[in-house]
Amino acid sequence: MEKKTSQLSGFYKLSPKERILLVKEFADLTDEEINLLQSTGSLDMDLANRMIENVVGAFPVPLGIAVNFLVNKRDYLIPMAIEEPSIVAGASYAARMVRDGGGFFANSTAPIMIGQIQAVHIKDPHGAKMAIYAAKEEILKKANDQDPMLVSVGGGAKDLEVKVINTQTGSMVITELHVDCRDVMGANAVNTMAEAVAPIIERITHGRVYLRIISNLATKRLARAWCTVPKKAVGGEEVVDGIIGAHAFAAADPYRAATHNKGILNGIIGVVIATCNDHRAIEAGAHAYAVRNGAYGSLSIWEKNENGDLVGSIELPMAVGIVGGATRVHPIAKIALKILRVKTAPEFSEVLAAVGLAQNLAALRALAHEGIQRGHMALHARNIAISAGATGELVDRIVERMVEERKVRLDRAKELLAEYQSGREN
């Protein structure tokens, strides 16, 4: 009987090295695997250990640069940290097509995040709502006292809204702080403010406050991008119509819309990870926004103008920062931000919206034209060949064969590798 246990009390107190030894024993890791875990590359083990808990290593992901981006007439190189092949190539290709139409245009709202304070057990919720509005100045002051730095750069709690909602456990009075986060993502600032004002809300409502937390449905922090792609650049009238049909499909069917939006996020999330922003927040906000009208739909729109050219647009919440959090801690995130050359978080959010639209265009063009698999498969085949154990020039030869035979599978890669290695190549 195996005597392994995952109950490791005090694990958090150990050094990464000590933790690795415990994990080694638990999972029968080899010395080679241990060495790989310990070689954390550009993210120093000490730094990694300060970023999260129970650290045993770092996880490298390829960092690629999408090229050709022109947003509001400014050139951008786009760093993307992503494991999926064809995303960087797709974004670059789409940005090239969009350049022919003058590039992307983009704008954004003020960087306002919403912090929610949930008050319950209130006999007169509608009266309490009015009382909270009456105390607005006191509440905003208390919130702003928490973050003089943010206030000094023009940010801070600017307004509030109160709503009464009916729930399974009775009515609740929800106060929503509107906090201008300037160049930070804002979760820390907003959560601190929400916690600080809770006693005032309790005093005013005679209720009990439970949750005090940011909302990831950042409807007051939206980024928008749009572009016109000449029909010639996109591949002709038929391709334009195919892309418009693909959008109509996504707009009408949530099963397609989820995949359509995933394609948009493929690009955005790559950049968000490269800059060490919170990609879960972006994903949550994007999907919640896509269902804001009651039915889950497409985040982008594709139409045709009077010349028959393709017109694309996108609008989605974009809670990203260029200071604060891990963005200025992680050495590669710092470099990624330098490559981006964005001066403010709103500018960054606009570039991200453009990247999402580009990624969407790349996917829809491929889907509506030659199908996604041709381009995808060649790249996917590389991973398969490498997984089969191929190295050096054998990777290319195996990829070529698998794509030619339309058999991009691990078993075939292994067969081909064995063939090449034994010199039985034919």
Nearer Cβ to ligand MEV (209/264): 264
Catalytic residue among 136, 158, 262, 304: 262
Min dist CB 388 to ligand MEV, Å, is 22
Helices (H), 52-123: 87-99
Rounded Cα distance between 152 and 155, Å, is: 7
Min dist CB 73 to ligand MEV, Å, is 28
Sequence-separated (6 or more) residues with CB below 8 Å from residue 223: 106, 107, 108, 109, 315, 316, 317, 318, 346, 349, 350, 352, 353
Catalytic residue among 84, 100, 400, 415: 84
Backbone angles phi, psi at 194, to 5 degrees: -60, -40
Nearer Cβ to ligand MEV (188/313): 313
**Is 24 part of the annotated catalytic residue set?**
no
**Is 180 part of the annotated catalytic residue set?**
no
**Is 393 part of the annotated catalytic residue set?**
no
**Is 84 part of the annotated catalytic residue set?**
yes
Q: For binding to ligand MEV (CB under 6 A), which residues are involved?
A: 84, 259-260, 262-263, 266, 363-364, 367, 372
Rounded Cα distance between 199 and 68, Å, is: 52
Min dist CB 50 to ligand MEV, Å, is 33
Nearer Cβ to ligand MEV (302/348): 302
Catalytic residue among 278, 309, 347, 350: 278
Min dist CB 316 to ligand MEV, Å, is 15
Cα angle: 302, vertex 303, 308; to 5 degrees: 130
Nearer Cβ to ligand MEV (84/400): 84
Rounded Cα distance between 32 and 16, Å, is: 17
* Closest-approach residue to ligand MEV (CB): 263
- Pairing, β 170-180 against β 156-167: antiparallel
CA proximity to 116, closest of 149, 146, 156, 160: 160
Nearer Cβ to ligand MEV (345/372): 372
Min dist CB 385 to ligand MEV, Å, is 20
User: Which residues carry out catalysis?
Assistant: 84, 262, 278, 376
